[in-house]
C-alpha cells in the first residue's frame, strides 16, 4: 500500500510527518491521511514526495525491490 511505503521511506529518512509536509508544501494532516490511506496523493505530490525522500515515484507506488 502506498501509505505504508510512504511512512517507511519517511521514517528511514528521519523525517516527521510535519517536516515532510513542510518540504512538499502540504499540511501535516495531509501526510497523515495519505499514510493512513484515507486520502490519495496526486501525481504531482507523489513526484514531490519522491524527490524529498530521495527515491522514485515508482518506489513509492510499487515498492522498492530491496526494501528501504
Question: Can you give the pLDDT at residue 66?
Answer: 62
CATH code for the domain of 9: 1.10.260.40
Residue 63 lies in a domain: no
Residue 32 lies in a domain: yes
Residue 66 lies in a domain: no
Return left, alpha or beta for 67; rule: phi > 0 is left, psi -120 to 50 is alpha, else beta: left
> What are the 10-residue block averages of pLDDT along the chain, 68 residues in total?
95 97 98 97 98 95 73
Give the residue numbers spanning the domain of 6.
2-58
Residue 67 lies in a domain: no
Question: Can you give the pLDDT at residue 64?
Answer: 75
- What's the CA gap between 14 and 41, in Å, rounded? 21
Residue 52 lies in a domain: yes
Question: Can you give the pLDDT at residue 4?
Answer: 95
Count of structural domains, the chain? 1
The b-or-e profile of 2-37 (16+ CB within 10 A means b, else e) is bbebbbbbbeeeebebeebbeebebeeebbbbbbee
Residue 68 lies in a domain: no
**pTM for the model:** 0.91
Question: Can you give the pLDDT at residue 67?
Answer: 55
Cell numbers given for 51: 524527490
Amino acid at each position: 500500500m502506498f501509505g505504508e511505503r510512504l511512512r517507511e521511506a519517511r521514517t528511514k529518512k528521519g523525517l516527521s510527518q510535519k517536516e515532510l509536509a513542510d518540504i512538499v508544501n502540504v499540511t501535516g494532516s495531509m501526510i497523515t491521511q495519505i499514510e493512513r490511506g484515507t486520502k490519495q496523493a496526486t501525481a504531482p505530490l507523489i513526484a514531490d514526495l519522491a524527490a524529498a525522500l530521495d527515491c522514485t515515484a515508482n518506489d513509492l507506488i510499487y515498492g522498492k525491490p530491496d526494501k528501504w
